[in-house]
Amino acid sequence: MRKLSTLVAALLMLAAGLPGTAAADASALPDKPARYGVGVQRDVPVTMRDGVVLKVDVYYPTVPGGKDRVPGPFPVLVTQIPYGKWLPMNTAGRFAPNIDTGAPEYFVRRGYIEVVSDVRGSGASGGEFEFFGEKQTLDGVDLVNWSAKLPNSTGTVGTYGLSYMGMNQLFTGANIGKDSPLKAMIPGAAATDWFRDVAVMGGLSHLPAVATLLGWVPNQAAASALLNAGWDQLHGGQVDYPAALQRFADHLRTATGYIPPLLQDLISGTGDRNFDGEFWKAFAPGDQVRQVVDNGIPALMYSGWLDVMQRGALQNYAAFQNAATGRPIHAPMTPGQPVTGRYQLIYGPGDHLNPTGPLDLLRIELAWFDRWLKNEHNGIDETQTPLHLNVDHTDQWISTATYPLAAEDPARYYLNHGGLSATPGKPGSDSLAYSPFNVGCGRGVRQWSIGTAALPTNVLGGEALTKAVDQCSRDDQISQIGALTYTTAPLAEDRMLAGPMSATVKATATTTNTAFLVTVQDISPDGSSLMLTRGGLDGRQRDLNPGRTWQAANGAVVLPYRDHTAASERPVSPGELTEYVVEVYPALARIKSGHRIRVTIGTADFPMTLPSLKQYSELAGGKYRLQLGGESFVDLPLVSPGAMPHRCAVICTYRGA
């Protein structure tokens, strides 16, 4: 029987509010009540190796009810944030209204010192902002080493945070060297490759999401100079308003000089930054994984099915486990491959702002830091199934070891004149006209809005409003207008759709480029359509890199990989039958007997994907003929629910067995 960490298992069951054995397991959890008060030193200057001064807030334990420091010593936790260290953000991804609900207080009250830094070019820190990059990487190294020498410190350091703060950790951990003070990290909602995870979907541009992120992050970094000053004023601090205003002006100048040209390139579709290359290397934290492992730093990751890092977090997990066994980090894991509890992923039901959903993530993180920074053998690392996954659209969880998830070869289903079947049908074709627009609906709205689409219901509440906003997530039929749909007969038994997958489309086109959006849906007996996952492809980037493409034993493509360079771009020849292998993002979903599987093929996912001006000029007016009769198909990782490796005590409890 594969062993799941007692602590994680109990927390999963505790989060679900399960009776019986869940309560018994929960009672065995370490009791970690708050023991200390919290003191803070604001805007402490820290000089980087190039002379730039960063400002940090240092939180430290005090005597309960008093201001006197507790001598400790205590481990130190470091977070590097571009949004303003004045804004406490807990690692479950919920913006905290004040320090009482922020993560710094949670950890400090339980015996940690915390250092929260404005990254260079943001908040009260000096220097010029840019996304990640060499200078910011070295800042992370310098901050860790500085933090390890704080008074009352044990000299050991951990890092945590999600999104930008998660990716920063991987660059820091890779460059800090062996035998460093950094002994553990928790990189949440971190990409493996921001270009492929976020900027494009198979070459199709996520322009609205990218423009929002690339525009908001640096401008928020600039605005945080004033917000930081306001926060200090509210808390009785002395504020140098002229200096804060000057920092705001300096940070804004950096942002306005850095971001508009980049967005102009992406909107126009011209320039080197539309392709993978030197610019995007700073956005590929997954390339740092081997060095993090070589430096001996354990990592607990988390993400979710609605996170914009949906594909990347799972690939990072595989990369860590591969690195730990000396295998290539960008390869698929193999069935039965040895794994280690030093590298784990919790993959929940949520979006980018709250990836793990109802889990008490802070409590899990505390156990992780207690294990590696305080040497408490609490069992969190003692597992042979370090991949903890929510079964999408349910409150069930499983724990397994390897990614891809399904050990079996994927099942091939052919597109047959509206049907989807295991045998090829009659030869023929279906026509599809290109349009950049459709009625955007389904889970993609919440996912690619970075979770902000759910904010109205979170803020205003109300059952009617929740149902109205969530209608698309429950039934996306309106998004299928103008697309082609292919549907199976009702399933005779429950099946689990488990892992990454691909769709192969053979088609002719009247244009020099094509755009395909492939969606996999669960069709219930009443006809409602539940979107499970989606993928897309820009036809000019159709050529696969065979060395990085994952394939099953039977040759089916599991995870397509493309170089996305100018050299790999190849125009479509109008009228020529061409093969397109579309990457469809991973899923773990139970499809019940009596339900049907639908594959929808369209050309748009508005407003989540929008073509650049160059792409649109190549796509406009396109008419496609999709070839059927065994020519076009999907390879779906469908397995029996009982075939998924799991610890029965957990999965059976969640299934109510």
Pairing status of strand 182-188 against strand 153-162: parallel
Comparing CA positions, the residue from 9, 31, 32, 35 lying closest to residue 22 is 9
Q: What is the DSSP string of 104-140?
A: HHHHHTTT-EEEEEEPTTSTT--S---SSHHHHHHHH
* Backbone torsions φ then ψ of 455, nearest 5 degrees: -60, -40
Report the pLDDT value the prediction gives residue 31, as an integer from 0 to 100. Answer: 63
Three-state secondary structure call for residue 46: strand
pTM over 0.85: yes
Report the pLDDT value the prediction gives residue 4, as an integer from 0 to 100. Answer: 37
337-360 pLDDT, tens digit per residue, is: 999 999 999 999 988 888 988 888
Residues carrying CATH 3.40.50.1820, the chain: 31-355
Three-state secondary structure call for residue 626: strand
Give dist(CA 406, CA 337) in Å, integer: 13
Q: What is the DSSP string of 453-507?
A: GGHHHHHH--HHHHHHHTHHHH--GGGGTTSEEEEPPPPSS-EEEEEEEEEEEEE
The matching CATH number, chosen from 3.40.50.1820, 3.90.1150.10, 3.30.420.40, 3.40.50.150, for 31-355 is 3.40.50.1820
Comparing CA positions, the residue from 146, 1, 156, 11 lying closest to residue 80 is 146
> Half-sphere exposure of residue 28, counting CA atoms within 13 Å on the CB side?
15
135 contacts 282 by C-beta, under 8 angstroms: no
Give dist(CA 154, CA 236) in Å, integer: 31
Write out the two tokens for 346: 């919790």
CATH topology of domain 411-441+476-636: Jelly Rolls (2.60.120)
Report the pLDDT value the prediction gives residue 354, as an integer from 0 to 100. Answer: 86
Q: Angle 53-56-60 (CA atoms, 0-180°, nearest 5)?
A: 145
Residue with tokens 């549907």: 487
Report the pLDDT value the prediction gives residue 233, as an integer from 0 to 100. Answer: 58
| Identity of the amino acid at 405 | L
Comparing CA positions, the residue from 498, 506, 380, 511 lying closest to residue 434 is 511
Write out the two tokens for 606: 């508005």
Burial class of residue 200 (count of CB atoms within 10 Å of its CB; 0-12, 13-18, 19+): buried
Give dist(CA 203, CA 218) in Å, integer: 25
Report the pLDDT value the prediction gives residue 45, as an integer from 0 to 100. Answer: 97
Tell me the residue length of the chain: 657
Q: Which helix (H) or strand (E) holds 534?
A: strand 529-538
Residue with tokens 């065979």: 546
Kindly report whether the peptide bond that precedes residue 404 is cis, defined as omega within 30 degrees of 0. yes
Query: Which residues face 520 on adjacent strands?
Result: 533, 599
Comparing CA positions, the residue from 381, 398, 382 lying closest to residue 390 is 398
Query: Would you say the C-alpha torsion 57, 63, 65, 68 has a positive or negative sign?
Result: negative
Residue with tokens 């305080």: 374
E-assigned strands of 322-481? 343-351, 387-390, 397-400, 411-416, 419-421, 429-433
202-259 pLDDT, tens digit per residue, is: 999 877 777 666 666 666 666 666 666 666 655 566 666 677 677 667 767 777 776 7
Residues 6 or more apart whose CB falls under 8 angstroms from that of 401 comprise 2, 333, 337, 339, 384, 385, 386, 387, 645
Pairing status of strand 200-201 against strand 529-538: unpaired
Give dist(CA 616, CA 621) in Å, integer: 9
Give dist(CA 137, CA 353) in Å, integer: 24
Give dist(CA 209, CA 16) in Å, integer: 32
Residues carrying CATH 2.60.120.260, the chain: 411-441+476-636
Give dist(CA 434, CA 509) in Å, integer: 10
Give dist(CA 192, CA 170) in Å, integer: 10
Give dist(CA 314, CA 388) in Å, integer: 11
Give dist(CA 475, CA 443) in Å, integer: 9
Residues 6 or more apart whose CB falls under 8 angstroms from that of 555 comprise none
| Identity of the amino acid at 588 | L
Comparing CA positions, the residue from 336, 283, 301, 315 lying closest to residue 550 is 315
Write out the two tokens for 135: 């200078």
Three-state secondary structure call for residue 566: coil
Give dist(CA 356, CA 399) in Å, integer: 15
148 contacts 156 by C-beta, under 8 angstroms: yes
Report the pLDDT value the prediction gives residue 467, as an integer from 0 to 100. Answer: 60
| % of the chain residues with pLDDT over 70 | 82
Report the pLDDT value the prediction gives residue 265, as an integer from 0 to 100. Answer: 85
Residues 6 or more apart whose CB falls under 8 angstroms from that of 260 comprise none
- The crossing angle, in degrees rounded to 10, of helices 361-373 and 6-16 is 170
Burial class of residue 165 (count of CB atoms within 10 Å of its CB; 0-12, 13-18, 19+): buried
Kindly report whether the peptide bond that precedes residue 45 is cis, defined as omega within 30 degrees of 0. no
Comparing CA positions, the residue from 1, 11, 653, 2 lying closest to residue 366 is 11
Q: Which residues of the chain have pLDDT under 50?
A: 1-29, 89-101, 459-460, 462, 465, 648-657
